[in-house]
Amino acid sequence: AMITLRELMDYAAENNFGMPAFNVNNMEQVRAIMRAADKCNSPVILQGSAGARKYAGEPMLRHLIEGAVEMFPHIPVVMHQDHGSDEGVCLRAIQSGFTSVMMDGSLMSDMKTPASYEYNRDITAAVVKMAHAGGVTVEGELGCLGSLETGMMGEEDGHGSDEKLDADALLTDPEEAAQFVKETNVDCLAVAVGTSHGAYKFTSKPSDDVLRIDRIKEIHERIPDTHIVMHGSSSVPEEWLEIINNYGGDMGQTYGVPVDAIVEGIKYGVRKVNIDTDLRMASTGAVRRHLEENKSNFDPRKFLKAAEDAMMGICEARFEAFGCAGHA
């Protein structure tokens, strides 16, 4: 059944677990997540970006998710809008049947330029008023996601400016978070703690000073009733990086957010963990390997099935590690 993010987050908080929120654009991603959830008996958050609706087409994306709910009636599913850039994007997601929306007012609607506190507060409060009137959950974001190593916002394919940001902008301030929650009434808050979108997050295994899990603890102490969301939380699996490069790909050496660090964050109030890159990498690696090893094959179902199975493996590992397995 379809549920709201708020219901799932409240239950996760009572039971001290976190939820991976996987981005979906196509059937194989949806099937991989649902099959893994079925196997682990976990609830699910399927999140679609505005880019996903553009890629699949709004009716197709909506029906993919409705199809998932119909095929797995015993699995609770949240249909969440990822990174809404303005009120219109959030409203159209609600009209499409999303039970939860993210209003990302940390950036202007170009999704590149860092926004002022007042802009963020006003646009997020407006979305909360509209969404809550219809029983829809709202996630806000305070602070700019980006690397504390380089000051760059990351994300090679869309968001993020080319300007360098200082640590102040790249770390959510706990006092400001408390004020933001009070002034907007958001259900969940995405925070900046040194993670960034995309594959190129850290140049080596992240130390405590570039991945600030301690900051999550401080924020949680100030806003214990607001569910904390970690974005840019792919772990960038070394084994998939190697498979991609061994089968004709060309990705640079890079490190993601270790699963252990996320598990630590979950102890301090993280309830939703956004993951897109890991499934993209598993999918690409599996397709490259399959085509290389099966040169006579021209049936896309064969290599797309390989991609689905590879993604399913990652989903299962995250459901188990974050503690949501067994909670469907």
The binding site for ligand G3H (CB under 6 A) comprises 23, 49, 51-52, 82-83, 157-158, 197, 276
Size of the site for Zn ion (CB under 5 A): 2
Residue 99's binding partner, choosing from Na ion, Zn ion, ligand G3H, none, with beta-carbon cut-off 5 to 8 A by kind? none
**Under the criterion CB under 6 A, does residue 276 sit at the interface with ligand 13P?**
yes
Q: How far is the CB of 197 from ligand 13P (least distance, A)?
A: 4
Stretch that binds ligand 13P, among 1-9, 59-67, 180-188, 229-237 (CB under 6 A): 229-237
**Under the criterion CB under 6 A, does residue 274 sit at the interface with ligand 13P?**
yes
**Under the criterion CB under 5 A, does residue 231 sit at the interface with Zn ion?**
yes
Which residues face 227 on adjacent strands?
A: 188
Which residues lie near Na ion (CB under 5 A)?
Answer: 82, 102
Residue ranges of E strands in 24-171: 44-49, 77-84, 100-103, 137-142
Residue 233's binding partner, choosing from ligand 13P, Na ion, ligand G3H, none, with beta-carbon cut-off 5 to 8 A by kind? ligand 13P
Size of the site for ligand 13P (CB under 6 A): 13
Q: What angle do CA 279, 86, 280 make, to 5 degrees?
A: 10
- Please report, for residues 74, 129, 142, 264, 288, the alpha-carbon distance to residue 175 in angstroms, rounded to integers and kept in the order given: 40, 23, 11, 22, 47
Which tokens is 290 given? 């399959």
82 given a catalytic annotation? yes
Which residues face 82 on adjacent strands?
A: 49
**Under the criterion CB under 6 A, does residue 143 sit at the interface with ligand 13P?**
no
180, 142 contact by CB (below 8 A): yes
What does the radius of gyration of the chain's CA atoms come to, in whole angstroms?
19
Which residues 13-52 are close enough to bind ligand 13P by CB under 6 A? Answer: 23
Instruction: Return the amino acid letter for 187.
Output: D
Sign of CA dihedral 69, 36, 289, 253: positive
Q: Which residue of the set 10, 38, 82, 276 is catalytic?
A: 82
Give catalytic residues, as residue numbers. Answer: 82
The residues binding ligand 13P (CB under 6 A) are 23, 82-83, 197-198, 231-234, 274-277
